[in-house]
């Protein structure tokens, strides 16, 4: 550094210290007492000239926002450092977490006759959810032993049972080792099992047929009630028309036959009430008939599909080698 510049810097520092001592501050090399030191630290001029006041305020507090020793309200703690807080969307009561956006339950399987047993076990209705059928019927509302089809014909398609490659491979490998007598004995056992299973399937078919007959009888009973309700509605309607005409004629003779008019008017009110009640009753019966007809159509269609699948399985059981 040049001598002129060094001397100017040294002179400026000395002059600055001299100015501090002239205004009552400590001079360089001066020995001061503890009271003097506290007075200098608490002096307002010291902070205005230096910018920082020397004052003992105890231990410096730690900034919790820059450390991860303790959890902070505005900076979440994480084992991997700072992570933003996740945005938790509230789930409405009408849409559960186990449902898709279109309202279909995520745990529900697809009702597919070519599917496995698990697909039938996970269809809608097992967990309380309802789904509309292809023809407008409510699938989840059908109950009973055969409301969803026969139980022994589930997963009995030939491609499901007899078309599995692993079963054929295992059987072929085993048949290469076994002798003819053992194979005949196994075939005999399989035929016995097939006969027993055939009896079970046929028994279930008969039970399902009885269920359909019972449903038809119930529909016939509802249709009979519907006819009776319609006949009562016609009678009530005729009665209403008759008393309406009488009320019109009695109104013309109101001044002379006031007492008779009041009686006829009471009959009219009774007829109106009776007509409304019977009309509502008939409408309710018609709705029940329509609902029962829809259930019967669904049940008949289900039975038709089950009958065909039952025949396929029976054919496969009777001819296992040709499957």
Q: How many CB atoms lie within 10 A of CB 151?
A: 14
Task: Output 289-294 pairs: Cβ under 8 A, ≥24 positions apart.
Answer: 289/219, 289/222, 289/223, 289/226, 292/215, 292/218, 292/219, 292/222, 293/219, 294/135, 294/136, 294/137
Please tell me the distance from the alpha carbon of residue 138 to that of residue 152, in angstroms, as a whole number.
23
With respect to residue 260, please indicate whether it lies within any of the assigned structural domains. Answer: yes
* 320 has pLDDT over 50: yes
| Least reliable range by pLDDT among 41-50, 90-99, 230-239, 250-259 | 90-99
Can you list the alpha helix ranges (DSSP code H) found in the chain?
Answer: 3-22, 34-41, 44-50, 117-121, 158-161, 165-177, 180-252, 258-318
Average pLDDT over residues 159-178: 75
Is there a domain that residue 284 lies in? yes
Burial of 156 (0-12, 13-18, 19+ CB in 10 A): buried
User: In whole numbers, what is the pLDDT of the chain averaged over residues?
Assistant: 70
Is the pLDDT score of 134 beyond 50? no
Residues 298/142, Cβ–Cβ less than 8 Å? yes
As a whole number of angstroms, the distance between CA 233 and CA 239 comes to 10
Domain hosting residue 175, numbered range: 155-322
Could you report the per-residue pLDDT of 272-291, keeping only the tens digit for each? 999 999 999 999 999 999 99
Query: Which CATH number covers residue 227?
Result: 1.10.287
The answer to whether residue 50 sits within a structural domain is no
More confident residue, 264 or 144: 264
CA-CA distance, 246 to 235, in Å (whole number)?
17
Does 41 reside within a domain?
no
The DSSP-derived string for 167-185 is HHHHHHHHHHHS-HHHHHH
Question: Is the pLDDT assigned to residue 38 strictly greater than 70?
Answer: yes
In a domain, 273, yes or no: yes
Counting the structural domains of the chain, the total is 1
pTM of the model: 0.33
* Residue 204: inside a domain: yes
Q: What is the pLDDT of residues 187-239, one digit of tens each?
A: 999 999 999 999 999 999 999 999 999 999 999 999 999 999 999 999 999 99
Residues 278 and 236 sit within 8 Å (Cβ to Cβ): yes
Query: Which range has the worst mean pLDDT, 23-37, 57-71, 277-291?
Result: 57-71
Is 97 a member of any domain?
A: no
Residue 243 lies in a domain: yes
């Amino acid at each position: 550094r040049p001598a002129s510049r060094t001397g100017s810097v040294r002179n400026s520092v000395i002059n600055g210290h001299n100015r501090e001592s002239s205004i009552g501050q400590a001079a360089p090399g001066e020995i001061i007492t503890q009271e003097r030191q506290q007075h200098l630290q608490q002096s307002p001029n010291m902070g205005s000239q230096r910018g920082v006041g020397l004052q003992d305020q105890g231990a410096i507090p730690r900034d919790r926002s820059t450390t991860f020793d303790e959890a902070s309200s505005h900076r979440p703690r994480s084992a991997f450092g700072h992570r933003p807080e996740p945005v938790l969307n509230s789930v409405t009561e009408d849409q559960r977490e186990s449902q898709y956006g279109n309202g279909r339950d995520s745990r529900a399987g697809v009702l597919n006759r070519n599917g496995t047993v698990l697909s039938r076990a996970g269809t809608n209705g097992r967990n309380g959810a309802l789904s509309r059928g292809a023809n407008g019927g409510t699938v989840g509302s059908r109950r009973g032993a055969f409301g969803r089809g026969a139980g022994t014909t589930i997963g009995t398609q030939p491609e499901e049972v007899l078309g599995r490659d692993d079963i054929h491979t295992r059987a072929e490998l085993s048949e290469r080792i076994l002798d003819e007598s053992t194979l005949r004995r196994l075939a005999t056992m399989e035929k016995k099992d097939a006969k027993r299973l055939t009896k079970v399937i046929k028994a279930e078919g008969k039970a399902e047929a009885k269920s359909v007959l019972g449903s038809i009888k119930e529909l016939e009973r509802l249709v009979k009630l519907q006819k009776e309700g319609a006949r009562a509605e016609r009678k009530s309607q005729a009665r209403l028309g008759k008393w309406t005409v009488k009320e019109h004629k009695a109104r013309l003779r109101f001044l002379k036959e006031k007492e008779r008019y009041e009686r006829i008017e009471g009959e009219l009110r009774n007829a109106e009430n009776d007509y409304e009640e019977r009309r509502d009753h008939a409408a309710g019966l018609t709705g029940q008939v329509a609902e029962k007809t829809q259930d019967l159509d669904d049940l008949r269609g289900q039975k038709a599909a089950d009958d065909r699948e039952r025949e396929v399985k029976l054919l496969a059981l009777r001819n296992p080698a040709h499957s």
